[in-house]
Structure 1
Amino acid sequence: MDVEALRTFVTVAETGQFQAAADELGISQQAVSKRIAALERRTGVRLLVRTSRGSRLSLDGQVFLPHAKKVLRAIELAEQAVRPGSRPLRVDVLNRRIAPAQAVYRFYRSRPGTDLDAVTLSMENAAQAAQAVREGTVDASFRALPADQVPAGISAERLLDAPLELLLGPGHPLADAPFVSPADLVGHRIWIPGIRSDTEWAAFYQELADAFGLSIDALGPHFGDEALMDALADSASLATLVGSGDRYLWPRTHDLRRIPLHDPTPVYPHVLLFRSQDRHPVLTALRDHLRASRPRTPCDVWAPAWAHH
């Protein structure tokens, strides 16, 4: 059913004049007459009766009027529900322990009461996350995606570089180093369990390993962060890589060490994916906040080749 015809009918019913309705709607009287005629053909009944003084509702029109008003109100509410800023911004932060989640949390802390939802989608890789953004499952997602893999209609902005740190136990040979370079890690076993071969982080770590001759493996099942921390604490040879903004907890007795990487500093390039035409005000504010608050980038950064595009 033609919504504009419904709106025209209600306006005529309320004003009692075709010309008055035309003036209110900003259309011609002829257009009003055509819309009413089309609506009457659609319903199969006469809704308005013209008189020397204007028009009045027929009996069928009187029955139809409250339903027409309900339909118009429902449409108004539906439009309000999806109007930019009328609902929470949904952001996929990938994992609540890592840098994107912490950055979104800091944004929320800087703007108390901001209407947003930080979610973690069960998307296996960046391509699936980009599809979820395009379909509107979420408004934005932090991923590491090369520019040539960004789908049409999606914008990608590199807003958060996470410098890598070495996480290891007190018995590891590098445990007391103030910092280490990637070259210092040659010959050491870096264990990152749970890496799946079809993910962007698998591609990142493979390029990192190739660039510096490192041994990075994902052998064995990933039993969770707590199990990984236990294994690091008990080992004199295992180490893993984490982002400097990642938040992991372990018992004080583990005495785990976080060692910065320098000369150069590898960074994981978190890219914010969002629909190109999205005008949600919280999304705009989040992007502005991330640009303004991003940490100062070390001068010796290493990032995957695709991240420089």
Structure 2
Amino acid sequence: MLSRIAESLFWIGRYTERADGTARIVDVLRLQLLEDPAADEAAASHTVLSVIMGLPGRPEATFDDVGASLVFDRSNASSITGAWFAARENARRARETLSTELWEGINTTWHRWNGFGRGVVTDRHLSWVRERAALVSGIADSTMSHDEAWDFLVLGRSVERADMTARLVATGGLPGGGAPWSVVLSSCGAQQAFMRSQRGLLTDERAAAFLVLDREFPRSVHFSLLEAEHRLAALTPPQTEGIGIADEARRQLGRIRTSLEYRNPQDVIADLPAQMRRVQTAVDAASTAIATRYFQSGPLPTWTRDVI
């Protein structure tokens, strides 16, 4: 497979998941402000912009500022609009590899999103983004052969999901701007799965552990990291040497996953913000390693006229 096609597929997966994850993060803030009239809007908005998303944010930020930066700003690749635009551009470059249904799903999503109203973020905006992201992912899984092209797309989706879930988990319980864990679970689509697995017993520690360590919930940090490792293993030729792991991306993801999986859950929860920052750092390092190994780093070659 051409490296430029592999890179486009990887980023289609990442940007689609980023639109979904950003919608969930903004929805956590929206629900937090709706359910708790006494919540400090400025502190919560500043937490989302600066602490969670790493964007410049004023201490007196409002929910409208969050919407402007994370929903409607096309120049910001972390915003919903920027992510959908980037996903469509990458899909356009890889049209010969994508199924027709997948291309139409991404293209239609971009054009319909532009038809939504701008300025005020509503539940209609955020729920529609989540539905379209799920639709695009489902179309990819059901209409593409599960070969190298699909592996790259799911790899991008998995590493982005691990990163975005880590950011969502980091919004829970922060002093001065943290959202209640019930809100975080709901925005992750984990409320029913959590209640079934925990027999209806909701505590902050159990909710955090479920979103970070659960082996069966597809949006948990552990599940996403493991899925990314599986995709990398499928893309990597069988290892001839019997020592260690040669793939740096797998090493980064496997190290952070096992450090969470085999550590005492109480220790993970006690140091949750720092642990989630470590997840984000590992995902960044893995993405760099993936780009170095699989994607073209220099400029594309171009044809030039022969000089006679």
TM-score, normalized by length of structure 2?
0.25
Greater share of helix: 2
Larger Rg: 1
TM-score by length of 1: 0.25
Higher strand share: 1
